[in-house]
Amino acid sequence: MAVLDIPVRHYIVTGCAGFIGSHVVDRLLALGCRVTGIDNFSTGQRRFIEQALAKPNFVLYELDLLNQGATIQAFAGGDCVIHLAAHADVRSGVDHPQRDLQQNTLVTLNVLEAMRAQGISQIAFSSTGSIYGDTAVIPTPEDAPFPVQTSLYGASKLAAEGLITAYCEAFGFKAWILRFVSILGERYTHGHIFDFYRQLKANPQALYVLGDGQQRKSYLYVHDCIDALLLVMTQAQDKVNIFNLGVDGYCKVNDSIQWICESLDVSPTLTYAGGARGWVGDNPFIFLDTRRIRALGWKPSLEIADGVKKTVEFLRQNEWLLKARP
Amino acid sequence: MAVLDIPVRHYIVTGCAGFIGSHVVDRLLALGCRVTGIDNFSTGQRRFIEQALAKPNFVLYELDLLNQGATIQAFAGGDCVIHLAAHADVRSGVDHPQRDLQQNTLVTLNVLEAMRAQGISQIAFSSTGSIYGDTAVIPTPEDAPFPVQTSLYGASKLAAEGLITAYCEAFGFKAWILRFVSILGERYTHGHIFDFYRQLKANPQALYVLGDGQQRKSYLYVHDCIDALLLVMTQAQDKVNIFNLGVDGYCKVNDSIQWICESLDVSPTLTYAGGARGWVGDNPFIFLDTRRIRALGWKPSLEIADGVKKTVEFLRQNEWLLKARP
């Protein structure tokens, strides 16, 4: 995709050392923007922002967004916030019911309040296809029937969306809300490929699979995701702009296993945990209708299989991540 | 409506001294149930539970549900929670952005966690028609298109719904979620009739009206609301049971003004603030599709006009409330 005509301004990027955030930072810096990055390094990786830290237009704040005072200070001078910081592991909600609400909902309220305090009124937000729950409409459009939440992660992101749109109404904010499928590619740090890679590294003969392997999921390559983010921020100028992001298809977990095993040249014996859901609250079929963003001219450059293979290749070249991520 | 065949058990009622909560307590006690009531008396009125306090089956805990430890203790021995405690003033979100999230969302998480701690797995919850935002589908059914929030109040209730349904999925809870229109009747303590009554008491010659008076709203009589609550808890036995509650119609604010003025025998000069919305985030047309609950055999006993008149009559006989509620 061509370099976008995004306004050269001062962006605040939360979760700047994360998988998606660090790529956003690199892209904005390459476009000549000034970037303030914020991360608490709970899952972010300093190595991902090494290039950024060498640039004069980048400032890093190591802080927790639950710290309201420090957040307000860090937002000084910003024109627009790209809020990507999150507790992004949809599977662990059951073990820590308060964490999703704290990290995804309360943190978002703090971000919105810091924006008000600093006179910033534009925010882009990484939401999730998980908020559609077990929807009956697939592929799922942005205006699908009112969903019932199945995961604390989805509930916490839905709550954050609600706060953001209420701030748009109350305080004249403008928001871009992007509901992602799972993202793949360089700097990938968690998810099924990570888990499978780790298992196969320890023992190439055996792979344990959550669920029955029939779960149907959609995935998007990280650079396609960021193209979409920058495109909507440039092109969509309603008060509230909501877009699904994903490829025009899906795969089964078993397909993904095959691509991973081919990439690694292994043939493990597969053992399935069983059941239609990979974990409590898992949605066994996620496939988003992306006609809204495609109408703006965006289309993904990579199919799912290629995204999976690129991700495996990244992990192969960055095995330090297996140790860095417990 | 006939007395319902609700299971005689030990109910925990949060917000027990509030408008709706105190009626629920009275009804459950009359049905022979044991009731633990919880209220922080931020807006609840001790006078509303005077009858209940005289009964041996009622125990009152004066505590704030943000206090997790005390909440867990108070939930001991309960079979089912009816969670009505809330910051219920939809208009003031803009002035106190954190209050809705704390009182409606965080409190709900505490309630859910206290339920887990005490092995309680059934919860009824008072949600709101405000969560449909400025929906284009009117009358609005429960599965209306995915709404965009316009108020912090709506966002905080939507977030609470999400938490509750995620707990149903994760922890085997059963939930009854009731999305109310505004409620009228005895023990009414806030809303437009309260404001108009107070104004007309101070000066019967003049009435100041938020918005343009053309806002279309639906209202339900409190005893019809409680009939519905007890009915769905008895009849609807899915994991997640979501029901709209309202009458089969709506009125304009100007209609309501006419009924109030007739009841009080006054003819004030009306001054309008102007604009389609009564306040920031107000939804100028709320009218819910209630076919789902009507299919269970429920129908409201009072029309809106009668509800308004009953409310005015209650306020006339309870002017102490004007002082009790600043």
Contact B283, B219 (CB under 8 A): no
- What are the pLDDT digits (tens) for B24-83? 999 999 999 999 999 999 999 999 999 999 999 999 999 999 999 999 999 999 999 999
pLDDT of residue A92: 72
Measured between CB atoms, does B280 come within 8 Å of chain A? Answer: yes
Instruction: Decide if the complex's ipTM is over 0.90.
Output: yes
Measured between CB atoms, does B107 come within 8 Å of chain A? Answer: no
Question: DSSP readout, A222-287?
Answer: HHHHHHHHHHHHHH--SSEEEEEE--S--EEHHHHHHHHHHHHT--PEEEE-BSS-SSTT--SB--
Supply the mean pLDDT for chain B.
94
**Rg of chain A over CA atoms, in angstroms?**
19
Fold match, A10-184+218-245 / A192-216+249-324: no
Cβ contact, residue pair A105, B101, below 8 Å? yes
Contact B151, A165 (CB under 8 A): no
pLDDT of residue A4: 59
Question: Both tokens of residue B153?
Answer: 């109040």
Contact A60, A99 (CB under 8 A): no
pLDDT of residue B77: 96
Pick the CATH number of B192-217+249-287+301-324 from 3.40.50.2300, 3.90.25.10, 3.30.10.20, 3.40.50.720: 3.90.25.10
Q: Would you list the domain boundaries of chain B?
A: 10-184+220-245, 192-217+249-287+301-324
d(CA B104, CA B88): 9
Chain B positions touching A129 (Cβ under 8 A) are none
Q: Which architecture characterizes domain B10-184+220-245 according to CATH?
A: 3-Layer(aba) Sandwich (3.40)
Measured between CB atoms, does A63 come within 8 Å of chain B? Answer: no
In A295-315, which positions are buried (b, 16+ CB within 10 angstroms) versus exposed (e)? eeebebebebbebbbbbbebb
pLDDT band at B326 (very low <50, low <70, confident <90, very high): low
CATH topology classification for A10-184+218-245: Rossmann fold (3.40.50)
The whole-angstrom distance between residue A37's C-alpha and the CA centroid of its chain comes to 16
Cβ contact, residue pair A112, B106, below 8 Å? no
Residue A49 CB contacts under 8 Å (≥ 6 apart), including other chains: A16, A17, A22, A25, A37, A39, A58, A60
How close does chain B come to A119, measured CA to CA in Å?
A: 16
pLDDT of residue A2: 45
Question: Both tokens of residue A191?
Answer: 């998810």
Tell me if residue A128 falls in helix, strand or coil. strand
Poorest-pLDDT segment among A321-325, B174-178, B304-308: A321-325
pLDDT of residue B7: 78
Q: Looking at the predicted structure, is the pLDDT value of residue B1 above 80?
A: no
Of B101, B167, B281, the CB nearest to A169: B281
Q: What is the pTM of this model?
A: 0.95
Contact B228, B163 (CB under 8 A): no
pLDDT of residue B115: 98
Closest chain A residue to the Cα of B94, Cα to Cα? A170
Chain A positions touching B142 (Cβ under 8 A) are 146
How close does chain A come to B156, measured CA to CA in Å?
A: 7
d(CA B181, CA B14): 20
Which carries the bigger pLDDT value, residue A323 or residue B124?
A: B124
Measured between CB atoms, does A150 come within 8 Å of chain B? Answer: yes
Cβ contact, residue pair A155, B163, below 8 Å? yes
pLDDT of residue A5: 65
Residue A186 CB contacts under 8 Å (≥ 6 apart), including other chains: A23, A222, A310, A311, A314
Question: Which sequence positions of B are flagged as catalytic?
Answer: 153
Of A133, A165, A281, the CB nearest to B149: A165
Closest chain A residue to the Cα of B157, Cα to Cα? A159
Interface test with A, best of B128, B165, B239 (most A CBs within 10 A): B165
Q: Looking at the predicted structure, is the pLDDT value of residue B4 above 90?
A: no
Query: Which among A63, A70, A5 has a CA at the least distance from the CA of A37?
Result: A63
A–B: how many Cβ contacts below 8 A? 127
Angle A91-A93-A99 from CA coordinates, rounded to 5°:
130
Residue B134 CB contacts under 8 Å (≥ 6 apart), including other chains: B148, B150, B283, B284
**End-to-end distance of chain A based on CA atoms, in angstroms?**
35
In words, the CATH class of domain A192-216+249-324 is alpha beta
Query: Which among B155, B141, B167 has a CA at the least distance from the CA of B94?
Result: B155
Low-confidence stretches of chain A (pLDDT beneath 50):
1-3
- What are the pLDDT digits (tens) for A60-112? 999 999 999 999 999 999 999 999 999 987 777 678 888 999 999 999 999 99
**Residue B131, Cβ density class (10 Å: 0-12 exposed, 13-18 middle, ≥19 buried):** buried
Q: Looking at the predicted structure, is the pLDDT value of residue B2 above 80?
A: no
Residue A32 CB contacts under 8 Å (≥ 6 apart), including other chains: A8, A57
- What are the pLDDT digits (tens) for B69-120? 999 999 999 999 999 999 987 777 678 888 999 999 999 999 999 999 999 9
* Residue A274 β-bridge partners: A211
Measured between CB atoms, does A133 come within 8 Å of chain B? Answer: yes
Which is catalytic among the residues A11, A61, A132, A153? Answer: A153
Chain B positions touching A170 (Cβ under 8 A) are 93-94, 97, 151-152, 280-281
- What are the pLDDT digits (tens) for B204-250? 999 999 999 999 999 999 999 999 999 999 999 999 999 999 999 99
Q: Is A208 an annotated catalytic residue?
A: no
Contact B193, B264 (CB under 8 A): no
d(CA A190, CA A201): 15
Measured between CB atoms, does A26 come within 8 Å of chain B? Answer: no
Cβ contact, residue pair B240, A148, below 8 Å? yes
Run of H or E residues at B189: none
* Residue B272 β-bridge partners: B209
Cβ contact, residue pair A142, B144, below 8 Å? no
